[in-house]
Amino acid sequence: MKFGKEFAAQMVQEWQEAYMNYNHLKTILKDVLRFRKLRGAPSPEAATSHGSLKRRASLYRAFSGLAGRYRGSPRKSEDEVILVSAVQESGGDEHYQTLFLNASDEGGDYELVFFRSLDSEFNKVINFYKKKVEEVMGEADDLSKQMDALIALRIRVDDPVVGGSNIANLAVHGFSSVSESVVHPPINSRNPGWSSMEVIQEVEMSAEANSEDSNKGTNNENYKKDMETFRPASFRSLSYSKEGLRKAEELMNQAFVEFYRKLRLLKSYCFLNQLAFSKIMKKYDKITMRNASKSYLNMVDNSYLGSSDEVTKLMERVEAAFIKHFSNGNHRKGINTLRPKPKKERHRITFSMGLFTGCSAALLIALVVIIHARDILNSEGAPQYMDNIFPLYSLFGFVVLHMLMYAANIYFWKRYRINYAFIFGFKQGTELGYREVLLLASGLSVLALGCVISNLDMEMDPRTKSFEAITELIPLALLTLLLVIVFCPFNIIYRSSRFFLIRCAFHCLFAPLYKVTLPDFLLADQLTSQVQALRNLEFYICYYGWGDFTTRTNTCSGSRVFESFYFVVAMIPYWFRFLQCLRRLFEEKDSGQAYNGLKYFLIIIAVAARTAYELRMGMALKIFAAATSGAATIMATYWDIVVDWGLLQRDSRNPWLRDKLVIPTKSVYFVAMVLNVVLRLAWMQTVLGFRQTPFLHSKALTAIVACLEIIRRGIWNFFRLENEHLNNVGKYRAFKSVPLPFYYENKRI
């Protein structure tokens, strides 16, 4: 793999604008090479003289910019090509400039452009790196104080009588600095071999050593009074309980893991950029037959980017603190937690996915053959079958289709390097890849298609036709199995992903009571495209709860209760989103959420009008349903394309799109916009009167329209996350914020 591709593959995508623009510099060097070829200068490959060979051989032994110092023999005197200097700016920062000494040579203008661009990239990189190092040093100081507070809380919980005054003493005297707390972490009161008094004495000595001028005459009552401002922020009602300590430890554990991940990515950023500067300078020397890399890379080595070791030292300190306080001194356990191994692609997943996909295709073909061979659609019981059984099985079809669209989303997110795992907030290594999702979808489709065929076979076979009740229970058994798998508490079948889904669904169900996160409202958006699946679930309850399956009759459609729930169920997902918008409006003070909430309120009215027209008919209802549906469609389409996708920007570098695009083919975005409009109009068929067709049953037509909406949602998902990813890139937001457990003097420490 060429270095340019490898460099892009290893970038932190949210920081990609802060990396050295290797491709741009490489393009400038191509201009230099093209000019030299036009002027008849010897190409690098043609330079075969002894001197050039000797010089080129020494070039590849030159300093790489990575090791930190030269190896081997002293430098030989050679003609200087560049002079690199550091200029002190007014703000105290250093600005590096390169003086190209051969600018008067033929073609020197091209090389001058190269060095100006090189300096610009280097200054960009070093300024970004300095800023990030300052940020992590400040965060390290906060974590150090939080760690001291956690140790004090452990003492208080383990020995409330003795530890009470000492935890207050620690609160008043202050906390150790990062250099003390992280290099020499506070003693863990749970460490084997240490008594509570020894730990307290150790903490007191540490506090006194860092606060010699503190007021030692303050009595314990004042300490306890001051200590009221120092307690777990989220657990004030629990005070100094073991439950509060456990939750504080969980938060601190997460904070350390996320902070260490930030340090690792920052170290990788430093390494990759040094490697990129080394590679581009070698390429420059090879093209121009000069020897400028030594001088420039020596400057890189002596700069803050090459000489600073704060990140490396801080990583060592974090490792020591985490192993001591959260792994009971178990080095392997601590390192495995801080450095989770990347997820491996397993061959059995690919094999199983292929097996189930092939079986699904075979079963689907068999189903079509059976229906055609036995002329089931034209049989006497076909209408009854479509009214009773088809809705039961179409539920699984909707779920499988949605999973297939999600798998396609994951594939293209990975292909275009959209960090979906970070956006969703998955724990590293637990996110599902597209192969795993396809495996689940194909497995469910095999079960569903197998049940459909067995159901039809039992219907047609004279020997089993009398087992009507048993035949009708097959879809219920499949649904029960699916629910058992979803809520299974054992660590099988991707438990972390299942529980993540359940937690998001719970937050949607009680939307106003929980802070709205991106996974929560994205799940609610998915539910708005599964309205027909929710109605099929309602039919399950009616069909089996009221005993219709025993007589193969459908009394649900004539029930007032069923009609009432049929009316309400369609609005539930939109109601979830409406409540989420209200929560975000009052919590974030974002006026945009008011318009978003208005959009969902209009959709609720439109859905209610369409459902009323579907159940009652009438010209007045038809006009009202058409008007509300049209207004909701226009507003929802505008919101999809302009707000959620960030497209249709007139002043963009890419006309009517946006400045940054992850897909190089711009026509894809225009096709997606057109498809979004067309597919949003599909559900207007209930209003426009296309409820019956000569070749399709109304239930089948409804299922097709529902599938089109699921496909539209799948397309929407890709561009919605692309826009979110580009927003993260624009703000260099590559890490999730972890709440810290402690406050001190009304401020989080």
Residue 576 CA: distances (Å) to CA of 376, 507, 740: 41, 10, 29
Residue 628 CA: distances (Å) to CA of 393, 673, 745: 32, 22, 54
- At 362, is the pLDDT very low, low, confident or very high (cuts 50, 70, 90)? very high
Q: Where are the domains of the chain?
A: 347-730
User: In angstroms, rounded to a whole number, what is the distance separating the alpha carbons of residues 688 and 626?
Assistant: 8
462 three-class SS: coil
Q: For residue 556, give both structure tokens.
A: 């649900």
pLDDT in tens, 54-104: 444 344 333 334 433 333 333 444 467 888 888 776 666 678 888 888 777
98 three-class SS: strand
Lowest mean pLDDT among 229-233, 435-439, 444-448, 568-572: 229-233
Kindly report the backbone phi and psi dihedral angles of residue 693, in degrees, each rounded to the nearest multiple of 5, phi listed first: -130, 150
Residue written as token pair 């050295």: 20
72 three-class SS: coil
Q: For the chain, count helices (H), then strands (E).
A: 30, 4
pLDDT in tens, 7-52: 888 888 888 889 999 999 999 999 888 888 887 666 555 544 444 4
- Residue 41 is predicted with a pLDDT of 61
- Residue 585 is predicted with a pLDDT of 92
pLDDT in tens, 286-297: 888 888 888 889
399 three-class SS: helix
User: In angstroms, rounded to a whole number, what is the distance separating the alpha carbons of residues 726 and 733?
Assistant: 10
214: pLDDT strictly greater than 70: no
Phi-psi region of 492 (alpha: psi -120 to 50; beta: other; left: phi over 0): beta
- At 193, is the pLDDT very low, low, confident or very high (cuts 50, 70, 90)? very low
pLDDT in tens, 643-683: 999 999 888 889 899 988 999 999 999 999 999 999 988 77
Closest CA to 392 of 472, 454, 446: 472
Q: What is the mean pLDDT of residues 206-221?
A: 42
pLDDT in tens, 383-435: 888 888 889 999 999 999 999 999 999 999 999 989 898 889 888 778 899 99
Return the top range by mean pLDDT from 158-167, 237-246, 687-696. Answer: 237-246
Return the top range by mean pLDDT from 154-158, 216-220, 582-586, 730-734. Answer: 582-586
Phi-psi region of 735 (alpha: psi -120 to 50; beta: other; left: phi over 0): beta
> Which of 163 and 659 is assigned the larger pLDDT?
659
Q: What is the mean pLDDT of residues 241-247?
A: 81
Closest CA to 358 of 412, 432, 438: 438
Beta bridge partners of 743: 748
What does the mean pLDDT of the chain come to?
A: 80
Contact 601, 578 (CB under 8 A): yes
pLDDT in tens, 142-152: 888 888 888 88
Closest CA to 102 of 83, 119, 87, 118: 83
- At 621, is the pLDDT very low, low, confident or very high (cuts 50, 70, 90)? confident
- Residue 590 is predicted with a pLDDT of 86
229: pLDDT strictly greater than 50: no
Return the half-sphere exposure (C-beta side, CA atoms, 13 A cut-off) of residue 583.
18
- Residue 669 is predicted with a pLDDT of 95
Q: pTM for this structure? A: 0.79
Q: Which amino acid is at 142?
A: D
- Residue 619 is predicted with a pLDDT of 84
- Residue 53 is predicted with a pLDDT of 40
Q: For residue 486, give both structure tokens.
A: 């979803």
Residue 568 CA: distances (Å) to CA of 514, 534, 572, 597, 627: 23, 11, 7, 18, 20
- Residue 46 is predicted with a pLDDT of 52
685: pLDDT strictly greater than 60: yes
